[in-house]
Amino acid sequence: MLQEHLSQAHDAASRRFQLIDGQVAWIERNVLRDKKSRVLDLACGPGLYMQRLARSGHTVSGIDFSPASVQYARAEAKREGLEMDVVEGDLRQTPFGGPFDLVTLLFGELNVFRPVDARLIAAKAAESLAAGGKLLLEVSTADAVRAKATPPRWYAMSCDIWSDRPHVVLQDAAWDEATYTSTVRYYVIDAETNVVECSAVTYQAYSDASLRELLRANGFAGVFAGKGWKSGDAGLLAVVAERA
Ligand SMILES: C[S@@+](CC[C@H](N)C(=O)[O-])C[C@H]1O[C@@H](n2cnc3c(N)ncnc32)[C@H](O)[C@@H]1O
């Protein structure tokens, strides 16, 4: 998985560095207003955003439950002599600490949490923010979540996020109008052993109104579209919320 995060051949687990550089510049200009700030990156992965913000002199923290990503982020901080506080933990259980000027949750990660957990994370983010602090969410649009429900397809891979070994994948997905979710199932068949492993991801869609409601009910006041944010994908938008 770490290899996929760092790959410059695709934008699967993390986006390519050029896109991240542009997003970090956007954050510094439009959200931090070019002031040295305290930033917490939730689900920080290998710390690609933290590293860039730390290089610019911001005080950065991050939380992620992937040991390999956390180890990589810490090693990079040490290699470059950067101050980065990287905590290995689950966002649902780990205290966020603070106070921060900005909390980020990027790359559509809010959409993979159940609504009850999304509310908890929003409330914890609000509590961890200083007065005037902001939450930056990069969320999948409802249309993009719905579009994940594609017809079944088969494909073969030598290595990807599901396995380091040659394998065949059957991907199947469905939209559920009642819960407003898409669930994508991956049946991963090892090419040598024929062992099948199934993984599934459920994506929660939010209408504009339901996302605003989630944020307003959990400690945020103004909610704004992040104009000019470039995600490289029309289905991912930036939303900035101000602590109430
Ligand atoms: C798509 S990756 C994005 C990583 C990073 N934000 C980036 O854009 O480079 C999602 C990250 O969320 C982390 N993650 C997912 N659920 C989590 C949870 N409940 N607690 C902590 N981290 C989580 C994964 O380990 C992974 O690193």
Residue nearest to atom 19 of ligand 1 (CA): 90
Q: Is 48 in the pocket of ligand 1 (CB under 6 A)?
A: yes
Looking at residue 13, its pLDDT comes to 75
Sign of the four-CA dihedral 61, 109, 28, 47: positive
Residue nearest to atom 14 of ligand 1 (CA): 43
Looking at residue 11, its pLDDT comes to 82
Which residues of the chain are modeled with pLDDT < 70? none
Looking at residue 148, its pLDDT comes to 97
Calpha distance 97→61 (Å, rounded): 9
The single residue listed with the structure tokens 């902001």 is 134
- C-alpha closest to that of 138 among 65, 222, 211: 211
Looking at residue 108, its pLDDT comes to 97
3-state secondary structure 82-108: CCEEEEECCCCCCCCCCCEEEEEECCC
Calpha distance 27→226 (Å, rounded): 10
Paired strand residues for 220 = 243
Looking at residue 129, its pLDDT comes to 98
Confidence (pTM): 0.94
Find the 192 Cα to ligand 1 centroid distance in Å. Answer: 30
Q: Are 47 and 41 in contact (CB under 8 A)?
A: yes
Ligand 1 nearest-atom number relative to CA 117: 19
Looking at residue 242, its pLDDT comes to 97
Looking at residue 160, its pLDDT comes to 85
Find the 5 Cα to ligand 1 centroid distance in Å. Answer: 10
CB contact set of 96 (below 8 Å; sequence gap of 6+): 40, 42, 63, 103, 124, 125, 127, 128
Looking at residue 12, its pLDDT comes to 79
Looking at residue 2, its pLDDT comes to 82
Calpha distance 115→210 (Å, rounded): 11
